[in-house]
Amino acid sequence: MRSPQERSVDPASVEMLGHTAAEKITTAWDRQEAMEPQCGFGQLGLCCRNCVMGPCRIDPFGDGPSEGICGATADTIAARNLVRMIAAGSSAHSDHGRDVAHTLLMAAKGSDYQVKDEAKLRRLAAEWGLDDTKPVNELAKAVAEAAMAQFGQQEGELAFVARAPALTQKRWREAGVVPRGIDREIVDAMHRTHVGGDSDMTSIISAGIRTALADGWGGSMIATELTDILFKTPTWLRSRTNLGVIDAKNVNIVVHGHEPILSEMIVAATQDAELVELAHSKGAENIALAGICCTANEILMRHGIPVAGNFLQQELAIATGAVEAMIVDIQCVMPSLSKIASGFHTKMISTSKKAKFPGAVHIELEESDALNIAKKIVREAIENFPNRDSSRVKIPNYSSPLVAGFTAENIFTALGGRYRPSYRPLNDAIISGRLRGAAAVVGCNNPKLQQDSGHLAMLRELLANDVLVVTTGCTAIAGAKAGMLCPEAAIELAGEGLQEVCRAVGIPPVLHLGACVDISRILMILTNMVAEGGLGDEIADLPAAAAAPEWMSEKAVAIGFYAVASGAYTVLGQPLPVQGAPGLTHYLCEDIAEAFGGKFAFQSDPVAAARLMIDHIDARRDALHLPGPMYEVPYAPRAAEEAVPAAG
Ligand code: XCC
Ligand code: SF4
């Protein structure tokens, strides 16, 4: 068994892992170790279960079968598996977007929900060619219906494709990957990967790219835009994160998952005077809400609700013994939670039609009665407070301050000053070399890796080299827990140029843009940088790179593909499951760039991965005839340098 310190670099997790071991509570880390050795065929992408002539597996060493029973090769099998991952990931983000569109429609027709950002509603209506002078609810209805129509659209192009840089759109049309409709592309991807379907690796991957673009420039972007319209566009705010935000004095409610539709109402319910009074009557000081994963990021961005932790801390939050209710919606929720909760007084409450958990109480969110349902759930938590066994409470005393709430709209008020709403100052900072470039670092935790260590080591290396970082999801929470999302972090961690920029505008060197669907905000920031001028004609020209050091989900695969297809050089800390298919691996890490400008790299060492990104940024600076970085930081030699394993 790895020690707590080998399992995580987060001091709160380390402390709790000591506690869970002592209490004999099994966590994802334990189960991961019990799973070893994990199946090499699966890791290499060489196992096919797409029909029951199989399962088939290709021998990567060439001693056994080189084709499946139907004749599918390693490249075909690995490409099909990968595209099915893209389809699943895109469906998750996109179905979330569909639910937000439905909630907007309910708001328009009259429900507990209301349009909170009318200006953004009107801007989007105008962009989509709708009559933007209509009264707000009529317009909300029209926008919601137009958004929902994007899912079932059969022909033509998704509306947000028109937002991409012209050259990027041209590339997509030439490659035949412009998404027609969101659902259509997901169905197409599933269809063609059926037994006896598409067997040509590049053709399969093209369909995967079209599906991924339907996520990034479709479902995810719809989710972001409509969530802003419904629940307001974020502005910068301060909050705190890590398990120490749980306070034993309070009724503690933890919300976990992805969709903000219920959690927004839970926020309102926790402020209900009658419920606060009930909490007092049970001896609690207050009703406190905290989040895990992207539900956390959603309510952090708009309400400053503290974040209890990222993906690998969901079990640890319950193990504090101080959580009255763990309320889950969908995605990234471990089924183990109900078992851990059963060892404490904690109630696990599932709320999504799409996700029930054995052992959990199910209280389904009905949008037509959302506030009452949220109040019912909060009441359950309060009533549970007296059942807490305080002798078993163990809360690690760690929490860090953070700044969040950046968007494609307000990042320029940050970087340009309030009087000049333009990306000019950001572009100028890059052109002059004060900023070397920009990086997007996103993604999950993975119990195969030491929790957060990949995120933090990569962020430190990028910041020291004057690379401004934007982030979402579990990386954002990892960075925040380590104090990197505070303006002060620039002084401690950033190179001289980045420090100058951060000081001048008072921003952190790592900018939190929200949940994983909000990677669509990053697409828009990159697009706006191209439009501002001086940094090339497409996203692929920008001195910028992307990474997911600890990714694990199918959503991350979809994100990786729309990033690459949009022109981003994208470094993954765990290889895609393709390495048993040499042709496919070579295509994804090299040849794909010809059509799209972006490509993948696999590098498990986070500092080496950051250097790949910086080298790419420097190459783009050269190609744009920009000067070298204003303050060059030579790579510090590392003792571990030679020990770094090669790609993947
Ligand atoms: Fe899930 Fe979005 Fe991954 Fe975190 S980063 S583990 S997908 S919560 Ni999206
Ligand atoms: Fe085997 Fe082909 Fe069936 Fe896959 S589709 S399980 S490779 S026979």
> How does pLDDT run across 427-462, given as a tens digit for each residue?
999 999 999 999 999 999 999 999 999 999 999 999
Q: Which of 351, 280, 292 is nearest to 318 (CA)?
A: 292
Measured from the alpha carbon of residue 51, the closest ligand is 2
- Rounded Cα distance between 539 and 525, Å, is 10
State in Å: Cα 271 to ligand 1 middle.
28
Percent of all residues in the chain with a pLDDT value above 90, rounded to a whole number = 94
Residue 639 pLDDT: 61
Mean pLDDT of the 475-483 span? 98
Alpha carbons 643 and 301: distance in angstroms, whole number: 40
Could you tell me the pLDDT band of residue 643, with boundaries at 50, 70 and 90?
very low
Instruction: For residues 628-638, give the mean pLDDT.
Output: 86
**DSSP designation for 523:** H
Q: Could you tell me if the CB of 47 is within 6 A of ligand 2?
A: no
Average pLDDT over residues 261-290: 97
Between strands 56-57 and 47-48, the pairing is: antiparallel
Residue-wise pLDDT for 152-182, tens only, equals 999 999 999 999 999 999 999 999 999 999 9
User: CB burial class (10 A; 0-12, 13-18, 19+) of residue 52?
Assistant: exposed
Beta strand ranges found along 278-427 (DSSP E): 287-292, 307-309, 325-328, 347-350, 361-362, 400-404
Ligand positioned closest to the Cα atom of 41: 2
pLDDT of residue 532: 94
CA distance 430 to 497: 10
Residue 647 pLDDT more than 60?
no
**Chain segment 46-71, per-residue pLDDT in tens:** 999 999 999 999 999 999 999 999 99
Q: Which of 268-272, 399-403, 415-419 has the lowest mean pLDDT?
A: 415-419
SS3 of the chain: helix, strand, coil, percent, to 5:
55, 10, 35
Report pLDDT for 644.
47
The single-letter code of the amino acid at 565 is A
| Residue 550: HSE in the Cβ half-sphere, 13 Å Cα cutoff | 28
CA–centroid distance, 43 to ligand 2, in Å, is: 17
Which residues line the pocket of ligand 1, CB cutoff 6 A? 258, 293-294, 311, 332, 443-444, 473-474, 515-516, 553, 555
pTM (two decimals): 0.97
